[in-house]
Amino acid sequence: EVQLLESGGGLVQPGGSLRLSCAASGFPFSSYAMSWFRQVAGKGLEWVSAISDTDSRYYTDSVRGRFTISRDSSKNTLYLQMDSLRAEDTAVYYCVKGEYSGVRGWFDPWGQGTLVTVSS
Amino acid sequence: EIVLTQSPVTLSLSPGERAILSCRASQSVSGFLAWYQQKPGQPPRLLIYDVFKRATGIPARFSGSGSGTDFTLTISSLEPEDFAVYYCQQRYNWPLTFGGGTKVEIK
């Protein structure tokens, strides 16, 4: 069974940094694309970033240059380094498994999410 | 960016009734459209992908149809566990985008 466990969320001041982690198990992590999505409380879903099995990386415009997605296949872990955080980055962040190795597939299942709050 | 518009925003129905949810894209997404279900306090779950293909374990009462810019999710007979929020999503172009969601609530 695929399991995705996010961690690293919390309260951070505007302009600060945070690193999210996602521990993956139940599938050959190195062979699959992975992605981060987010959801503001009570609002809709937004795609944030994706990474292929060969480390090709994609970002939504609002986070490009501030967020960095990475993966460590030796640890079966996905990361999201978030710098220069803004209030509008406040959301639950979900780690999601790709359909296959490339980023052009569907993403599912989703982890339970970790809450990031950017506030002074 | 491809904008997905879902309608209605809220659908009030009784168990056993048919639910028809709509998703319209600002430009063609070809066959690259999916539907997700989200219940309170839970992450989204993939229901339908590539317009009409049911994800693993999804009951046959869920079906998807459409092409180009207009898509439909049909729940043939609502079960109590189907009352939730439904989102459509496209992967035709970056960035991946979602519709605003349709809440199916108990009438």
Q: Dihedral through CA A46, CA A85, CA A90, CA A1, nearest 10?
A: 60
Q: Does the distance separating the beta carbons of B99 and A47 come in below 8 Å?
A: no
Each residue's pLDDT tens digit, B58-67: 999 999 999 9
pLDDT tier at B30, thresholds 50, 70, 90: very high
Q: How far apart are the C-alpha atoms of B107 and A71, rounded to whole Å? A: 46
Nearest Cα of chain B lies from the Cα of A50 at a distance, in angstroms, of 10
User: Residue A15: which region, alpha, beta or left (left: phi > 0; alpha: psi -120 to 50)?
Assistant: left
Each residue's pLDDT tens digit, A46-56: 999 999 999 99
Each residue's pLDDT tens digit, B48-100: 999 999 999 999 999 999 999 999 999 999 999 999 999 999 999 999 999 99
Tokens of A60: 């939504």
Tell me: cis bond preceding A28? Omega within 30 of 0 counts.
no
* Sole residue written with tokens 């925003």: B9
Give yes or no for a contact between A64 and A91, defined as CB atoms under 8 angstroms apart.
no
Q: Does the distance separating the beta carbons of A44 and B87 come in below 8 Å?
A: yes
Each residue's pLDDT tens digit, A76-110: 999 999 999 999 999 999 999 999 988 889 999 99
The residues, any chain, with a CB within 8 Å of residue A99's CB and separated by 6 or more, are: A33, A105, A106, A107, A108
Closest-CA residue to A36 (of A84, A102, A98): A98
Q: What is the pLDDT of residue B9?
A: 98
Nearest Cα of chain A lies from the Cα of B76 at a distance, in angstroms, of 24
| Other CB atoms within 10 A of residue B74 CB | 14
Which residue in A has a C-alpha nearest to residue B55's C-alpha? A108
